[in-house]
Amino acid sequence: TTLEDWARSDEYHNSFLLEVDDVLDTALVNSTAKGLPDIAVSAAQGKFLKLLASSTAAKRILEVGTLGGYSTIWLGRALPEGGKLITLELDSKHAEVAQENLARAGLSSKVEVILGPAIESLAKLQPEPPFDLVFIDADKPSNTQYFIEAKRLVRKGGVIIVDNVVRNGSVSDPALSDPSLEGVRELLKAIQGDKEVDATTIGTTGEKGYDGFLYAIRR
């Protein structure tokens, strides 16, 4: 099976389950036009994040890694009146494009984009009131640090998702190594035996390739 087959499968399923969405399409077009890399979650993954936020009735969401705000829009749409999403981004250009896309989505009042190294921004956040859902999707070598902060900031029973933990199967291939792979491996080792979370990996293979989300619940 090739990326083309996975993309066709996504397209097929999306044609039944996802509506045509000008705001999200425009967010991607604008991001590309402004030179941002094409590394946002897929539409099907974005919809999953939105459904997850809805089904957990998330009122406070934290995102690490904003890019152009594509996943932010999906998550932000699940927020009720008075809900809040904080998203952390290192690159000022990315943050600026995200603000534009979020404004077009009508989400500026619910979403706060915090510019700077996520590890510094996270250290300044307080667990009161706690977050219901954390989505970690930034520099992979820092996964474990982000995960530790997420555990501190999320409520008991809250959910932490980490993107790109399968990486075309390369994470599990002992012959391979690079800082991103090692970042995922280090996270898995840190979670092994950690009584504060209960976790599994969910494959997310589709138009973005063979990959997965780590899905953890705070105990």
Residues that bind ligand SAM (CB under 6 A): 39-41, 65-67, 70-71, 88-91, 94, 117-118, 137-139
As a whole number of angstroms, the distance between CA 215 and CA 209 comes to: 18
Which tokens go with 110? 């619910």
Classified as helix, coil or strand, 65 is coil
With respect to ligand SAM, which residue has the nearer C-beta, 117 or 130?
117
**Shortest spacing between CB 175 and ligand SAM, in angstroms:** 25
**Shortest spacing between CB 109 and ligand SAM, in angstroms:** 20
With respect to ligand SAM, which residue has the nearer C-beta, 103 or 174?
103
As a whole number of angstroms, the distance between CA 38 and CA 68 comes to: 10
**Shortest spacing between CB 149 and ligand SAM, in angstroms:** 12
Per-residue CA distances from 82 to 19, 36, 153 (Å): 25, 30, 19
Taking the alpha carbons of 210, 184, 214, 163 in that order, is the dihedral positive or negative? Answer: negative
**Shortest spacing between CB 99 and ligand SAM, in angstroms:** 13
With respect to ligand SAM, which residue has the nearer C-beta, 92 or 172?
92
With respect to ligand SAM, which residue has the nearer C-beta, 68 or 83?
68
